[in-house]
Amino acid sequence: TSLAWGAGVQFNPTESVTIDLAYEGSGSGDWRTDAFIVGIGYRF
């Protein structure tokens, strides 16, 4: 069994643009996995 976790934030610099920033991590014993996620969305 391993622990997985994540945290992120989403903000809108304009009414039509969204930016996502997140970090995720998991690991157990000899291995560990980390990810940094960046996303951009456009609303029309």
Tens-digit pLDDT profile for residues 1-44: 678 999 999 999 999 999 999 999 998 878 889 999 999 999 98
Long-range CB pairs of 16-22, under 8 A, 24+ apart, other chains included? 16/42, 16/43, 16/44, 17/41, 17/42, 17/43, 18/42, 18/43
Q: What is the pLDDT of residue 30?
A: 85
Q: What is the pLDDT of residue 7?
A: 98
By the 10 Å C-beta count (0-12 exposed, 13-18 middle, 19+ buried), 24 is classed as middle
Element (H, E) at 33: strand 31-42
